[in-house]
């Protein structure tokens, strides 16, 4: 014997029928806090902030980056040797 039962209800109605708690307020609170945290940290990943944090620990790092990009472009063969 095969019996099919179809129940047409919303997820909220199904949770209420089975006695499960309504987690929507908790989800909203978590999402609000996550959004606040993301917005407060978004300035830390801006290009200006990243460059500033990279270049604060070594003052010659900017020059090293420039030399690296020149070398990658293929122009680095005579760059440092001619400055003697």
Same domain, 27 and 51: no
pTM above 0.75, yes or no: no
Same domain, 33 and 52: no
Which residue did the predictor score with more confidence, 25 or 46? 25
The residue range of the domain holding 79 is: 47-84
DSSP state letters, 13-38: HHHHHHT----HHHHHHHHHHHHHHH
Give the pLDDT confidence of 26-64 residue by residue, as tens digits: 999 999 999 999 888 887 777 887 777 776 666 677 788
CA 41 to centroid of chain Cα atoms: 10
Q: Which of 5-14, 21-30, 40-49, 71-80 has the lowest mean pLDDT?
A: 71-80
Q: What is the domain count for the chain?
A: 2
Q: Which residues contact residue 62 at a Cβ distance below 8 angstroms, ignoring those fewer than 6 apart?
A: 55
Is residue 3 assigned to a domain? Answer: no
Both structure tokens of 32: 């609000």
For all residues of the chain together, what is the average pLDDT?
A: 82
Same domain, 55 and 34: no
């Amino acid at each position: 014997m095969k019996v099919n039962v179809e129940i047409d209800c919303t997820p909220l109605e199904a949770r209420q029928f089975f006695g499960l708690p309504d987690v929507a307020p908790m989800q909203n609170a978590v999402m609000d806090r996550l959004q606040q945290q993301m917005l407060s940290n978004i300035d830390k990943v801006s290009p200006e902030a990243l460059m500033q944090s990279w270049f604060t620990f070594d003052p010659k790092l900017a020059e090293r980056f420039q030399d690296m990009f020149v070398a990658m472009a293929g122009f680095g063969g005579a760059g440092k040797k001619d400055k003697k």
